[in-house]
């Protein structure tokens, strides 16, 4: 059967039209942000520079794309239409089945739909893994920088030991079947996922230990919600069936947290060693505040600027790592629509007009670019403050 095609102009219009939920969400958010930017603190200040606006726009674009992927993508990312194998961009599916806007891949799947759904994987794993890495690194970096001495020496040695290992090789070891079969990634997940519970429990205890009615409520919620998430992620035993993570994604998640935490640790440690010499820290110590209260409620809030900037850069770095792992076929399932796997699946196909590897490549590049621009804008604003 001979395929029919639409023109390049119709392809462009079709792509723009498919993103209508994203454009609507961006218009609402930008209108509200510009109207209330004086009340939005650091986020509102990002709209004072073109770099900040561009970074926010790109990051929100992919965020809303991930949220509305089922509306934006015209096809299921795993659906195969045999006649559309290696189809050129703009190919019309027979019998009014739609259009492969960016063509089909070697398994006859829609490249555009896979690119859209791939954003969900990136925007779930990268920010979540970075958040866990921040909590692990901060929980260990605070006492290392504050106390110094033997605690600092031991924790710094362990961090340097991990940092001395080649990152790609470290990822390769953690996601290979032989290591996975030993159960090591799941044991590591069990350890890492304890840190948020410990972090928030310590945070609330140091703040509200003299107000038991609020302390017991917050600790109860921390243990209840944290335990629920912990059981669902680590043991895949959520009684409500809401929280779960695929084994392949868990392995990558653990690898990212393990590789990123030492870098966060060193940043937090350095910030603490600088901030603890300030006068307001001496005033807190004079008031008789405990060391952990001083670390969590006096030092950490004053270190938020560099940590926010580092988080943006680290999410971008994690996105590149996910793409690299997907390209080498490590971690995620072979049929996964993540951008790295999509680039790998399309790289061997020779095509001159909108090569199927270009959409996921552009998606990955643009998201990382947006994060870098956002980090630059945040850095400029933090230096002003």
- 3-state SS of 36-56 is CHHHCHHHHHHHHCHHHHHHH
Cα 342 from Cα 346, distance rounded (Å): 6
The beta strands (E) that lie in the chain are given as 4-5, 91-93, 98-100
- Whole-number pLDDT of residue 185: 81
Tens of pLDDT, residue by residue over 251-261, are 888 888 888 89
Task: Give residue 75's pLDDT band: very low, low, confident or very high (50, 70, 90).
Answer: very high
Please state the rounded mean pLDDT for residues 32-52.
88
Return the number of other C-beta atoms located less than 10 Å from residue 13's C-beta: 13
What is each CA distance from 156 to 133, 164, 264, in whole angstroms?
Answer: 16, 12, 12
Please state the rounded mean pLDDT for residues 51-79.
94
- Whole-number pLDDT of residue 353: 57
Higher pLDDT, 349 or 340: 340
Strand partners, 98: 93
- Whole-number pLDDT of residue 293: 93
Residue 34 has which token pair?
């510009």
- Whole-number pLDDT of residue 349: 60
| Parts of the chain belonging to CATH 1.10.3720 | 119-319
Higher pLDDT, 167 or 318: 318
Task: Give residue 153's pLDDT band: very low, low, confident or very high (50, 70, 90).
Answer: very high
With the CA atoms of 93, 99, 102 and 105 taken in that order, what torsion angle do they form, in degrees rounded to the nearest 10? Answer: -30
Q: What is the mean pLDDT of the chain?
A: 87
Q: Range with the lowest mean pLDDT among 107-111, 151-155, 330-334?
A: 330-334
Q: Looking at the domain that runs over 119-319, which CATH code has it been given?
A: 1.10.3720
Please state the rounded mean pLDDT for residues 349-355.
59
| The pLDDT of residue 338 is above 90 | no
Return the number of other C-beta atoms located less than 10 Å from residue 35's C-beta: 10
| The pLDDT of residue 346 is above 90 | no
What is each CA distance from 229 to 60, 73, 206, 251, 256, in whole angstroms?
Answer: 26, 30, 23, 17, 19
Q: Are the C-beta atoms of residues 307 and 107 closer than 8 Å to each other?
A: no
Q: Are the C-beta atoms of residues 201 and 223 closer than 8 Å to each other?
A: yes
Nearest to 79 by CA among 101, 102, 104: 104
Q: List strands edge to edge, sheet with 98-100.
A: 4-5, 91-93, 98-100
Q: Are the C-beta atoms of residues 106 and 165 closer than 8 Å to each other?
A: no
Secondary structure class of 91 (helix, strand, coil): strand
Determine what percent of the chain is predicted with pLDDT higher than 70: 97
Residues in the chain: 385
Nearest to 314 by CA among 266, 269, 363, 256: 256
| The pLDDT of residue 38 is above 90 | no
| The pLDDT of residue 122 is above 80 | yes
Tens of pLDDT, residue by residue over 289-299, are 899 999 999 99
DSSP code of 100? Answer: E
DSSP code of 278? Answer: S
């Amino acid at each position: 059967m001979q395929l029919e095609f639409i023109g390049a102009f119709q392809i462009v219009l079709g792509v723009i039209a498919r993103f209508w939920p994203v454009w609507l969400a961006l218009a609402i958010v930008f209108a509200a942000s510009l109207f209330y930017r004086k009340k939005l603190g650091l986020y509102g200040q990002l709209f004072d520079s073109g770099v900040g606006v561009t970074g926010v726009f790109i990051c929100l674009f992919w965020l809303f794309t991930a949220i509305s992927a089922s509306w934006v993508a015209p096809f299921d990312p795993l659906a195969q239409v045999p006649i559309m194998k290696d189809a050129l961009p703009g190919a019309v599916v027979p019998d009014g089945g739609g259009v492969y806007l960016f063509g089909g891949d070697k398994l006859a799947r829609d490249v555009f739909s896979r690119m859209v759904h791939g954003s969900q994987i990136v925007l779930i794993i990268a920010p979540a893994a970075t958040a866990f890495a921040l909590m692990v690194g901060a929980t260990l970096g605070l006492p290392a920088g504050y106390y110094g001495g033997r605690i600092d020496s031991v924790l710094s040695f362990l961090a340097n030991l991990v940092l001395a290992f080649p990152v790609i090789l470290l990822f390769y070891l953690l996601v290979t079947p032989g290591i996975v079969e030993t159960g090591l990634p799941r044991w590591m997940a069990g350890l890492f996922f304890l840190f948020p519970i410990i972090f928030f429990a310590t945070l609330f205890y140091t703040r509200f230990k003299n107000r038991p009615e609020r302390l017991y409520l917050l600790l109860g919620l921390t243990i209840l919600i944290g335990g629920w998430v912990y059981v669902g992620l680590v043991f895949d035993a959520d009684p409500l069936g809401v929280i779960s993570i695929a084994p392949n994604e868990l392995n990558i998640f653990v690898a990212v947290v393990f590789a990123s935490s030492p870098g966060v640790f060193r940043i937090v440690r350095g910030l603490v060693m600088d901030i603890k010499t300030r006068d307001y820290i001496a005033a807190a110590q004079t008031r008789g505040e405990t060391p952990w209260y001083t670390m969590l409620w006096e030092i950490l809030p004053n270190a938020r600027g560099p940590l926010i900037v580092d988080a943006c850069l680290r999410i971008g770095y994690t996105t590149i790592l996910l793409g690299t792992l997907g390209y080498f076929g490590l971690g995620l399932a072979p049929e996964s629509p993540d951008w790295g796997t999509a680039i790998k699946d399309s790289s061997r196909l020779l095509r001159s007009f909108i090569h199927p590897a270009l959409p996921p490549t552009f998606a990955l590049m643009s998201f990382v670019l947006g994060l870098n621009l956002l980090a630059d804008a945040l850095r400029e604003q933090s230096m002003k403050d």
